[in-house]
Structure 1
């Protein structure tokens, strides 16, 4: 994890100063003026430091055989950025693809970092006259559907949090919120006690760019929160001023992003689920709500905290059974072939002795109704609270958290 970002305080970080002055000032502009999150600012910062290292080697400012990670990204001034050409940018994109093995999405983000940086230098602070990235477009992205868990796999994951954790109430609650609310990892880790309103069944979240939104709680979330908060608030040694919702058992402080990822990965492994990350739980919540909860795309956009509906549209993919059901619901899907008559020209080849009247249409296939899991939109994905209450309080688990 980065030495800059503070995992326990996702909105904070150490000063960004290990780069050229123009880059440092640009990142501060992103956070203070443009209102970008610490995570976004850090990503752009890393991208621009990487470009600085590439350009130093390309221009011969360091030995040709220097490892990229060993090149000091500092020491480049505004005149240097003015000397960068379109050819330099293309060579950088080629380097990312061929030598670094970047996916198209990663390459596009690094190009976006350069676009933003040069737009800042040209249009915001007027330090440069020309933008070498202006006419360069990102690579065409592959349209890959988001990977998500089925409802059955989600239930298996919830069950595994009860057997693979030293703090099952906490881990079950976190996974329940991921699966039902579609919140981001940083949003869950950054939650404070005063963000929860159990009386009105809602949680206040702060998403990307410090955008605030309210997420409503279904029955599964309410039950999971009550069980966990009952344990959390009676923990011995917990300081009254600790405001984080999710805390570690040993240190009694806000849990980190990395620790949540470790816990979720462990629970997934125990449930036999491979190839899924913590962020896939957000995909799961969005997909299940769209497919089975009768949620329209604009409502889903608001719930997920997306700025643009085009981002939300990746969740509108349909499962095979939905496509099949749509075809079966076509009003023309039950129309039978009319019998031959004197007014119909029948050009069908018939075997000897067979007439058009003898050629009966196939028996009509009745559509099998596709059931969504009942009550999912209202009750949410969760386990029976009586089962959870019976689970022993396992203090000796698989690692301190």
Structure 2
């Protein structure tokens, strides 16, 4: 992660002070006034330090051959930021693309950091009169379809968690929640016991910017949580005050983001699933719900915790599935040919003005098959069978 943030508790971090005073105060403004998360504030902080280094080299404040990482980002005052021009910004964006190899999305995020910084200096604290980034638009983004697992691949991943882990109840439960609730990695790691309400079948999540939302738990989630919590709550050495839902097996403390990624990656590799990451499980949940759960885009936005529907529109590529289903439901598509032989014109190898009658075999229409019951019951395995399998495994190891 970083020397600043503790991924188990990013809200408690060292001061962001290795930058110019204007940047330090802006980042504090993001966290305290604007209510941004520590992760978001840290991202902006890193972007602005990078821009500071670039500008120092561009203005000749350091030797031309200086490595970016070796340039001290401090020492630039408000008067310096007032001298930054559109040409400087464009050169910076070109530098990011050509020399750093940034993708369009990464370049757009760094430009957003500059937009926010100058908006703060001009409109929030009135230190500058002009914003050089005001008329600069981000590069047009490529429309990349989200990569996701099919329902069959999801089942294979769940089965893999039973054989590739020393704590299968926990790892199985985490993957079930990813696949059914569409939660982010940080949301799963940050869950506490009092966030879970099994009686009312819901869970409270804290998303980006400390935004709270309630997510419904289907049957697969309920069974997986009951199986895991019964194991977790009886672990020897677990302190009563430990409130984290998912904990490590050895230290009995909140599991880290990195450890969850390692566990999921290992299970995917064992299942033969290549090219997927932990975040792709969130895409999988959204995709399967959109395909099979009759979920509209606004409902999906609320479920995923997106602040803007434009973010959720990445899943509108799935409308192709709905369009195909709509065509299948067209009442004219159910019509059958008369029992008598249908006659069609065959103009192949015929002289002009002549035709030949040809009979066509009668065929039954083939309806498109779709997932059935996925959104209602959830993606999961038989919890009772899992528990029996685990008990048998323990007996075999003890014998």
TM-score, normalised with respect to structure 2: 0.90
Partner of 2:96: 96
Indicate the larger mover: 61-70 or 106-115: 61-70
1:383 partner SS: coil
Matched, 1:376 2:380: no
Matched, 1:66 2:95: no
After superposition, give the CA deviation of every residue in 1:114-151 in whole Å (9 maximum; x if it has no partner).
00000000000000011010111100000011000100
After superposition, give the CA deviation of every residue in 1:169-203 in whole Å (9 maximum; x if it has no partner).
11111110000000001110110000000110100
Q: CA deviation at 1:352?
A: 4.9
**Cα distance change on mapping 1:14 and 1:391 into 2, 3 Å:** farther
Q: Which 5+ residue runs of structure 1 have no aligned equivalent?
A: 338-345, 396-401
After superposition, give the CA deviation of every residue in 1:69-118 in whole Å (9 maximum; x if it has no partner).
11111111111111111111001000000011000000000000000000
Matched, 1:284 2:284: yes
Indicate the larger mover: 20-29 or 119-128: 20-29
- In 2, distance between residues paired with 1:175 and 1:250? 20
After superposition, give the CA deviation of every residue in 1:250-271 in whole Å (9 maximum; x if it has no partner).
1111111111111111111111
Q: CA deviation at 1:351?
A: 2.6
Partner of 2:207: 207
Partner of 1:7: 7
Partner of 2:141: 141
Matched, 1:233 2:254: no
Partner of 1:341: none
- In 2, distance between residues paired with 1:31 and 1:365? 65
**Cα distance change on mapping 1:353 and 1:131 into 2, 3 Å:** closer
2:258 partner SS: helix
TM alignment of 1:173-252, pairs within 5 A: 173-252=173-252
- In 2, distance between residues paired with 1:18 and 1:54? 16
Structure 1 contact 336–361 (Cα < 8 Å) conserved? no
- In 2, distance between residues paired with 1:368 and 1:320? 18
Partner of 2:293: 293
After superposition, give the CA deviation of every residue in 1:200-240 in whole Å (9 maximum; x if it has no partner).
01000011111110001000000110111111111111111
Answer 1 or 2: which has greater helix percent.
2
TM alignment of 1:126-165, pairs within 5 A: 126-165=126-165
TM alignment of 1:259-338, pairs within 5 A: 259-318=259-318, 323-330=323-330
Structure 1 contact 325–367 (Cα < 8 Å) conserved? no
Higher relative contact order (CA 8 A, sep 6+): 1
Partner of 1:351: 350
Q: Which 5+ residue runs of structure 2 have no aligned equivalent?
A: 338-344, 395-399
- In 1, distance between residues paired with 2:336 and 2:376? 41
After superposition, give the CA deviation of every residue in 1:37-74 in whole Å (9 maximum; x if it has no partner).
11111111111111111111111111211111111111
Structure 1 contact 182–304 (Cα < 8 Å) conserved? yes
Q: Which consecutive aligned stretches of 4+ in structure 1 deviate over 6 angstroms post-superposition?
A: 334-337, 353-356
Structure 1 contact 173–224 (Cα < 8 Å) conserved? yes
**Cα distance change on mapping 1:355 and 1:204 into 2, 3 Å:** same
Partner of 1:107: 107
- In 1, distance between residues paired with 2:385 and 2:249? 22
TM-score, normalised with respect to structure 1: 0.90
1:213 partner SS: strand
- In 2, distance between residues paired with 1:53 and 1:361? 77
Structure 2 contact 336–364 (Cα < 8 Å) conserved? no
Matched, 1:389 2:387: yes
- In 2, distance between residues paired with 1:190 and 1:372? 35
Indicate the larger mover: 236-245 or 381-390: 381-390
